[in-house]
Structure formats: C-alpha cells, structure tokens
Structure 1
Amino acid sequence: MMRSPTWRLLPLALLCNAVSAQASDVLMGDYWVVHYQGGLGKQQVFLADGDPKNIFARPGGAQSLGVYRLYEEPGKPNFTAYDVEIDCKKNRARVMGAQDFSSVSNQFRKGKFNAQWQTKPEPWVAQSRDFVCKPGERPAKKMERLGVMSASQMTKAGPQLFEILNRESLKVELIKQIDEAFAQMPAK
C-alpha cells in the first residue's frame, strides 16, 4: 500500500529542480513516483516520465511511456528502464521492452519482460496505466511528482528516496512490535 510522504519528498524535488536548469541539450523528463514496494534494505521505486513530449502515440490509439525501476538491494541493477504501452480505451497495459543498467559494468543489458497485454497487471504496471489514463487521480492514488530533471539526475535520486522509504518501513515495524508487545501483556 502506498502512503504519501509528500512533505519528505519536497526537499528532494526542489534540489533536483534547481540542478536540472543547467543543461538544455540533455533529454529532460517530468518524473513521478507511481509505485514503490519492498522492505527495509530492499526497496524498489517506480518512476514514470510524465513529460508529454516523452509519451509517444502507438498504433491503435495506445501510448508509450518510460517507467524506471530503481533498486536499493545490492546485487540488483541500479535501475531497469521499461517501455510501457498503455491503451486507455481498453484499460490495459503491457511492457514492450526492458533494459537493466548496472554501474558496475557501466552498460545496459536486455531485461526480462512479457510483451503480452496483462489481464491482471502487476501493481506498478497498473499504476503506470492509471498515471496516463487518469491524470486527475494522481494525488488520490498517492503518486508524487519529483519534478523536471535529466534521466541521470533521476537515477541519482534513488538513495534519497530509499532513505525516506526505509524510515517509513522502520516506523511501521516499530509500531507493529509495540502493538505485539501490548497484545502479549496480561490484562488487569
């Protein structure tokens, strides 16, 4: 379940926006957190590029956008870049391509994906579909705007996002332990 750490993302968004004004010849995007998952030390954040110039028309009325999965866990790629195709009229989505990037090898490799229209899409795919098809519902669906920045700046935002999510995970775990401790206390 996504909770909205909006006020905690604000300093990150301001920092990224200030830096993004430097280079006008670099491909820029308008990045939004559309989903996150995982636990302490194993967080994954999914960022969609909502810049209309970077959302492309596909045959049959579908649209294509970039979604980036940032990984916190060691041994995983730094990120996976997905080409996600969205068909709003038929309320469906599919992944058309995936590229894993690892800073260890400093190269992209073909990532795993299934190009079939998903009847029960993974949560990040469903959120990506809703990001495009229902832009007015972004706040209600807890989608957070990071701001306009280059792709390299977007990928560098991962550690700050993981720090925020790990703090939230720690709070949830502490509250769970406290609740369990109270539940085990003898009643008077």
Structure 2
Amino acid sequence: MSSFFKFKKIIFLSAALLAASGSAIAEEPNPAGDWWIIYGNGVAQKNIMYVADAMSVVPSEKTKGATMVAVTLVYEEPGKPMIDVYNIEAQCSTGKVRFINGQSIERLAYTMRHLKVANQWQTPKEFWVQQALKFACAPGSRAKNDMAAVGKMEYLQMIQMLQQMFFKLAPIQQKSQMMDNIDSLLELKK
C-alpha cells in the first residue's frame, strides 16, 4: 500500500474514532482537539502516552450528571497497536467511572477493531483511569495533577507529535537504563 493511501486511511480511521466518541468536534471537517498528557509510562522502545482531549469533556447524554471524556493511548512499541481510544463516563460526585466503548487502530494494517470494555460503574484502580477521572472532574487542577497541555491540533497531528517525542526520548532512556545497569553491577561487587 502506498504511503499516500496509508495516510488517507489513517485520516479516515481517525475521523471514525472521533465520530464514535460522540464528540461535538467530530462534526467539523478537520476536527481539532485540546490535548493533554495525563500520564506516561514505559521504558525505551515500549513507552505509552495517555492523552485526554479537553474538547471531549462534555455532559453525558447517556447518564444524567455524568461527564464524558475521551482518552487516547499512544504506543511506541512496534508490536502494539498505534493507538487505543476509550470513551469514559465519569461520575464526579461518586468518584466512579464507566467505560462506554474502546477502539484500537493497528499500526501496520491501519485497521480499526472494537475493544471489549467493562461497562459497569467502578472505582478506578489503574492510575491512568484515576487521572482521566481527575481530568474530567477537576479541569482547573490539571497542571496541579501532573498533566501537561500539548496544545490544540488535529488528531493525526497529535499522534505524530507524540511519536516524535518517543523518538527524541529513546536515547535519553537508553542512557538512563545503561547507568542503572552499571549502578547495579557496582552494587553487586561491593
């Protein structure tokens, strides 16, 4: 598949993901989000960035009093999907969340598949889900909650920017891992 057709397919799938989120920005011809990194973890070549869209934080049409938020997981690892997207309902008063749906885009085939989600209300256990709850319920405290504004841009542009961040982060992480390995060896010799 030529790179032009791959690019067109990514744009189509990104638009489909936004439409599935029910977001008002999905109705725009080139929808732009207001992206925030809410969490990141991993090691060299296996990083994951958890990115929430402030434009997706809207009152839920499904549950009265709940708030919607869309969170995109951007993967660095070649064996992982390019992205997973989860649409989450948050009940701010109870501190509970419910996954509405999830989609994944495969890295090489650019195919979208639906992810199975547990759609019952739950207290978030995973840190990134706790961060998603804080993102939706305390918009004025995002910086205080260790979230970083990425900026307003189109969906595909945000993904490409994070992939570039992974590329620039790799040498730093590799050097850090090498230093940790040397420290471990020196401690063993004591």
* TM-score normalised to structure 1 length: 0.75
CA RMSD of aligned residues (A): 2.1
- Identify which of 79, 84, 90 aligns with 2:88: 84
1:141 Cα offset (Å): 2.8
Secondary structure (helix, strand or coil) at the match of 2:64 reads helix
CA, structure 1 residues 169+142, in 2 after alignment: closer, same or farther (shift >3 Å)?
A: farther
CA, structure 1 residues 116+78, in 2 after alignment: closer, same or farther (shift >3 Å)?
A: same
Does the alignment pair 1:108 with 2:106?
no
Does the alignment pair 1:45 with 2:79?
no
1:90 Cα offset (Å): 0.8
Does the alignment pair 1:176 with 2:180?
yes
Letter of the structure 2 residue corresponding to residue 152 of structure 1: L
1:75-132 Cα offsets, whole Å, 9 max, x none, are 3221011101111111111211001112533332111321122224211111111112
Residues 34, 151 of structure 2: 8 Å contact kept = yes
Letter of the structure 2 residue corresponding to residue 176 of structure 1: D
Q: Identify the structure with bigger relative contact order (alpha carbons < 8 Å, sequence gap 6+).
A: 1
Q: Distance in 2 between matches of 1:100 and 1:93?
A: 20
Task: Give the paired residue count.
Answer: 161
- The residue number in structure 1 matching 2:6 is none
Q: Distance in 1 between matches of 2:171 and 2:143?
A: 22
- Identify which of 155, 160, 166 aligns with 2:159: 155
Runs of 4+ in 1 over 4 A off after TM superposition: none
| Structure 2 residues without counterparts, runs of 5 or longer | 1-27
CA, structure 1 residues 74+64, in 2 after alignment: closer, same or farther (shift >3 Å)?
A: same
Identity of aligned residues (%): 30
CA, structure 1 residues 90+167, in 2 after alignment: closer, same or farther (shift >3 Å)?
A: farther
1:38-70 Cα offsets, whole Å, 9 max, x none, are 22211111110012xx32212221111111011
- The residue number in structure 1 matching 2:38 is 34
* TM-score normalised to structure 2 length: 0.75
Secondary structure (helix, strand or coil) at the match of 1:158 reads helix
- The residue number in structure 2 matching 1:15 is none
